[in-house]
Amino acid sequence: MDRIVTSLSHLLWRRVRWPLGRSLWFEGTLSVCYVRTLSQAAASSHELRVEPEHLQAVLIPASLILVLSVMLTSFCNRYHHFILAQGILPGLACGMILTPVLSAAGQYFTTKRAWAMGIIVSGASVGGVVFPLALDRLLNRSSLGFGWTIRLMGFIILALMSSACLLVKEHAPRRLEHRLSLEVLKNKPYVFANVGFFLTLLGLWTPVFYIIDYAMAQGMSLEMAFHEVSILNAASILGRTLPCYVGDRMGRYNMMVFMNASSGVLLLCWTLAQSTISITVFIWLYGFFSGAVNSLYAPCIAQSKYANLHQAPFIRSSGDLMLTFLRSVCPKSSDIGTYLGMGFCFCSFAGLAGTPICGALVKQSGYYLYASIFSGSMVLAGAGSNLVARLFLSREFRVVI
C-alpha cells in the first residue's frame, strides 16, 4: 500500500481534477502519507499487546479493513473521501499487518534472518511495480472505469491477504510478561539504530512522492514520469533482497551503514539529474539503495547473539575478517515483535514529518535543491547513528556484525 500512494495521487488528479502542480497535487499525495503513517504507529503499538498464538486475531481483522479501504476508494469523489479511504483505514490495517508478519518470520531464522525478512519486505516493491502499471492500463486502455478498476485491485488484495492469514504462524514460545518495557531504552545499540532510522525516514521517501512532478518539471512526459515509480520499485526489489543476503554474511549493520550512506549521497546528487536518461539512472540507483535501507532495519533490530560458531556467518575467503560473539540487540526471538513494534511506532513519526518539510522547501524555493540537501543530510545523519549502534556492538571493524 505504501507504493500505491503515488499512483493514487495520479488517480486523484484524473478523478477529482485537482491541479497536478506543486500545490494541491503535493498536498493530496502527502496527506494520504501523513495519516497513514500516524495510523501505522498506533497499529504497531496495538500489536505489542497481542499474544503470539493470537496472531490471526490481528491479521484477519486487519486484512478485512485493508480490503474494505480499497473497495470504499472506488466510491470516492471528494478530497476527504480519499483521506479516509486511503489514509486512515489502510494505515491502521498495514500497521497491524507489518509488525506481526516480520516478527513471525524472524523467529524461524538465525543466520539467514535478514535474507528471509528481505524477501518478505520485497513484496511491497513487487506490488509497486505491478499495481501502478495495472491501474494505468485498466484506466486508460479498457472500459472498466474507475470504480471497477479499484474493486478489481481490492479482490486481488483479498486473495493475497487470505493466503497470508492461512500461512503465517508464530514459532517462538508464548511470553507471559508485559509486552511494553522501558528496559529497551538501556539497550544502546537498539536506541541508536532507531534514532538512525528515524533520521533516515525524514528524507528517505522524498523522491518516491515527488519524482513524478520533478520529472515533468524537467520536460518528461506525464506517461513516462508516471512509469518512473514502477522503475524505482523494480530496482527496489533487488535492493530489498540482495543486500540482505550479503548482510547475513558480511554483517547486517555493516551493510546498513553502507547502504544508508549511499542513499544520502544519491539524495544530495538528485537535482543533477535533469535529462530523461539521467533521471531514470538516478531512480534505478536510488530504488536499489533505499530499498536496502528499508529492508535491513528489521533484521538489524532483530539481531541476536550467536550461540556458537556454527551459527555465525563466517567469511572464510579472507584472512582479514574475524568473528567474535556478538552482543545482541534483541535478546530473544520471542521479543522481536515487541522490539519491532516499539521501533516502528517511534520511527513512523519521522515519515509523518519528513515529506511535508520537503514539500514546504519546494514551495518556498520553487525548486528541489533545498529539499535534496535536507533529505540527503538527514539520511547521512541516520547513517552516522547506525554506525554508532554498530560500534556499540563491536568497535572492531573486521567483525561481521
- In tens, the pLDDT along 329-369 reads 877 776 777 788 788 888 888 877 888 888 889 888 888 99
Give the percent of the chain with pLDDT over 90: 28
365: burial class by Cβ within 10 Å (0-12, 13-18, 19+)? exposed
Q: Are 301 and 121 in contact (CB under 8 A)?
A: no
pLDDT mean over 41-64: 64
Dihedral sign, Cα of residue 182, residue 111, residue 99, residue 384: positive
pLDDT score of 47 more than 50: no
Q: CA 192 to CA 197: how far, in whole Å?
A: 9
- To the question of pTM greater than 0.75 for the whole model, the response is yes
pLDDT mean over 309-314: 43
pLDDT score of 229 more than 90: no
Q: What is the pLDDT of residues 63-122, one digit of tens each?
A: 999 899 889 988 887 777 777 787 778 877 877 787 778 777 777 877 788 888 888 888
Q: CA 198 to CA 180: how far, in whole Å?
A: 20
Confidence of residue 179 (pLDDT cuts 50, 70, 90): low
Q: CA 205 to CA 191: how far, in whole Å?
A: 22
The reported pLDDT for the residue numbered 114 is: 82
pLDDT score of 173 more than 90: no
pLDDT score of 164 more than 50: yes
Q: Are 323 and 34 in contact (CB under 8 A)?
A: no
Q: CA 167 to CA 161: how far, in whole Å?
A: 10
Among 1.10.10.60, 3.10.450.50, 1.20.1250.20, 3.90.180.10, name the CATH number for the domain at 4-171+180-393: 1.20.1250.20
What is the rounded average pLDDT for all residues in the chain?
A: 78
DSSP code per residue over 186-210: G-HHHHHHHHHHHHHHHHHTHHHHH
Q: What is the pLDDT of residues 379-397, one digit of tens each?
A: 999 999 999 999 988 887 7
CA 389 to chain centre: 20
Q: Which residue has the higher pLDDT, 196 or 351?
A: 196
Q: CA 263 to CA 9: how far, in whole Å?
A: 25
Q: Which residue has the cell 525478512?
A: 117
Q: How many residues does the chain have?
A: 401
Confidence of residue 288 (pLDDT cuts 50, 70, 90): very high
Q: Which residue has the higher pLDDT, 302 or 54?
A: 302
pLDDT mean over 271-283: 94
Q: Are 360 and 177 in contact (CB under 8 A)?
A: no
Confidence of residue 4 (pLDDT cuts 50, 70, 90): low
Give the percent of the chain with pLDDT over 70: 77
* Highest mean predicted confidence (pLDDT) among 42-46, 186-190, 338-342, 380-384: 380-384
Q: What is the pLDDT of residues 136-158, one digit of tens each?
A: 788 778 888 888 888 998 999 99
Q: Which residue has the higher pLDDT, 183 or 1?
A: 183
Report the candidate in 185, 268, 284, 151 with the shortest Cα–Cα distance to residue 230: 284
Q: Where are the domains of the chain?
A: 4-171+180-393
Question: Largest Cα–Cα distance in the chain?
Answer: 64
Confidence of residue 196 (pLDDT cuts 50, 70, 90): very high
Confidence of residue 305 (pLDDT cuts 50, 70, 90): low
Q: CA 68 to CA 213: how far, in whole Å?
A: 30
Q: CA 167 to CA 53: how far, in whole Å?
A: 13
pLDDT mean over 46-56: 54
Confidence of residue 135 (pLDDT cuts 50, 70, 90): confident
Expressed in percent and rounded to 5, the helix, strand and coil fractions of the chain are 75, 0, 25
